[in-house]
Amino acid sequence: MKIYQLSGRHSSLVLAAGGGQWPQFVHWGCRTDLSGEDRDSLAGLLALPVPQAFLDEVYPPGLCPLWGNGGFSANALRGGDERQWAPQFVVAEGVESSGRLRFDGQDEVAGLELTFSLEMTEWDVLVVRAVLTNIGSRPYRLEELALSLVVPATADEIIRFHGRWIREFAQQRAAVTRQGAWAENWKGRTSHDNPPLLLVGRRGFSFEQGEVYGFHLGWSGNHGYRLQVVEDGRRLVQFAEKLFPGEVVLAPGESYTTPFLYASYTGCGLNGLSANFHSFIRDSGRFARPPGNFRPIHINTWEAMYFQHDQTMLERLVERAARLGIERFVLDDGWFSGRDHERAGLGDWFVDGKKYPRGLGPLIEKVRAAGMQFGLWFEPEMVNPDSRLFRDHPDWILAVDGYRQILGRWQYALNLGHPPVYAYVKDRLYDLLSRYPIDYIKWDMNRDLVQPGDKTGRPAVHRQVECLYRLLAEIRSDFPSVEIESCASGGGRIDLGILRYASRVWTSDCNDPLERQAIQSGFSLFFPLEMMGSHFGPQQSHTTGRQFDLEFRIFTAFFANLGFEQNLLELSEEECERLSGYIAMYKRFRPLIHRGRLWRGDTADPGQQIWAVTSEDRCQALVAVVQTGLPDNMLPGRLQLRFCRPGIRYQVEWLNRHPPQPNLMKQDVAISRRQLTVSGRVLATIGLQLPVVHPQTIMLFNIERH
């Protein structure tokens, strides 16, 4: 038995392998620096007892549990024919190199070669991937290849993510039971309801404390996960791309590569886990970054005008946006041929000559003259039946001959795996990107895929996702100054697969700030704030009908990449003056929000959330105390900011326009004064008394070294 170890800054993964078997998990948790002597002694301590009524050979849960080795329900590889369905691989000694491990196995009977690669990054994010190659003489029909990791038996609570349109990233907490947990998504995109995310931790883990493991499959298509309690009580976690029957058939010599599984451990609660993922996404160089030095504040025209594009209104909107300090103007759906409503025009990517008789040039010139960038909405993967493209090429969609393809939002999905389709979509995009100085693409995808077959009738989701990635990569290479946003009916395609090409996401179509507080909380557990598009919407939300005051709307959008969705022409002069001041404030704190460390405070009040973004040295923080509902208690508690350094003094600056003044109350709490100087020790251990505030109120503070 040989011991292998991978370590990040604060965590280690220890594996043991020998006897031609796949490695078993010995330790994944806090960092342990094993010496050569430690490894030698550990190798002799791993022998397992053989219980009565058990197999005579015990294979603990490892990197690749298989039916052929007694893996039973944890089987990681499914597929093949009558001679390939239960393989037994002979695994070579692992290869170690620069923080990476590789294990290669072969099964000459099944004619398969399987390679697993593992990397522990300096940010304590473990990256796992597998490649299956057909080395035999007959085709191999793959059904599933899962990536497996094991966490301790003490990890006895999970948080699963679910949701729907306008309520993405909802969280459900539950105890781990013998029945385990599982989720599957067959919608052809990452999905609103079953994103490939999972948290597993020691009971009671919270933002500020506890051991917790986070898992994310970086894939924008079908996927699933399983959590199972195995024989020794540990939890086996498996993630995989889900494949339709016959979707991947490997000819001799062909290979299948899994998506990347990203996983991380921390002993510092959810704040520590978020810090690991955020730093990895920001600094590893594996994911898209915006071309400029900062992420612009932008206005998107969708809720301002929907399909009713009017030149005079647009020009006035440009002028108002520039006056407020907005930096990018994004023209949403409705600019192209025949697009007067959502039932027509998709696929005909030519500027509408009635709405824009001189093309988009005059509008773009107006935008640029006002000092703003210009962005444009596309939905390149889709086509309406009522379009010239579909009438000319009805066979270009994902469908199965002989069946009725179901419409979604009155549209079909184009088959990007069909070369003429790919060439057409690329040509239309390249023509517009070459013709106009476009800085930004909002790339939308507004339907789930049903019976997604190619021209032969075979399922084609896997190929569709690969072609999407290839097209995005080509655009980024040929137009490096263009930033791409991923949108899919809001948050239906947010994952670390698409984020290799898109540097911003539209988190949700919901601009209701109350819903946004929950959505953004779930999103930020894995993804950094600056990638999250969050927009100031109208007083009455278009998606929920609820009404909110200006400050609650704008401060909710602060902890993100700020944008605007409201028709700015509806604002009063007083509202414009206030928004102009808040935009200037956001720009003041933007470097901190977009590069700082996210910290969230534990609170006993279910109607309260505490957000903070701190500088690396913890000498500054932007803090928001969000009161979403009525508190349980008559008197609020103290605000403790445990990230504050005890040895320095902080100036606490109240940023709201007015101190809280609920009706029929008088209060003079120190925290609501404009400025206050307090020691870090007091802030971290005792805290400051909070005032009584109404529900749907955000108190915003700047905490800075005095």
What is the per-residue pLDDT for 58? 77
Give Cβ neighbours of residue 512 (< 8 Å, ≥ 6 apart). 166, 537, 541, 543, 544, 546, 548
- 441 closest CA partner among 333, 577, 319, 536: 333
d(CA 184, CA 193): 10
What is the per-residue pLDDT for 668? 79
Residue 98 φ then ψ, to 5° = 50, 55
d(CA 242, CA 480): 33
Q: Is 253 exposed, middle or buried (0-12, 13-18, 19+ CB in 10 A)?
A: exposed
What is the per-residue pLDDT for 18? 92
Both tokens assigned to 527: 């993804």
520's enclosing H/E stretch is: helix 513-524
The residue type at 122 = E
d(CA 196, CA 221): 10
What is the per-residue pLDDT for 632? 87
Inter-residue contact 370 to 362 (CB < 8 Å) = no
- Tell me the CA distances in angstroms from 289 to 140, 475, 561, one per residue in order: 39, 14, 13
Pairing of strands 223-229, 181-185: antiparallel
Both tokens assigned to 685: 């251990």
- 128 closest CA partner among 110, 113, 146: 146
10-residue block means of pLDDT along the chain (706 residues)?
96 95 96 92 86 82 92 91 93 94 97 98 98 97 98 97 98 96 98 98 98 98 97 95 98 98 98 98 98 95 96 97 98 98 98 97 98 98 98 98 96 98 98 98 98 96 98 98 98 98 98 98 98 98 97 98 97 97 98 98 95 98 96 91 97 89 69 90 96 94 97
The residue type at 310 = D
Helix (H, G, I), strand (E, B) or coil at 200: strand
Domains of the chain, with CATH numbers? Answer: 65-283 (2.70.98.60), 599-705 (2.60.40.1180)
Alpha helices in 355-498 (DSSP H): 361-369, 388-392, 419-435, 461-478
Can you say how many angstroms the Cα of residue 172 is from the centroid of all Cα atoms in its chain? 17
Q: Catalytic residue positions?
A: 444, 509
- Tell me the CA distances in angstroms from 481 to 290, 437, 441, one per residue in order: 8, 10, 11
Inter-residue contact 559 to 624 (CB < 8 Å) = yes
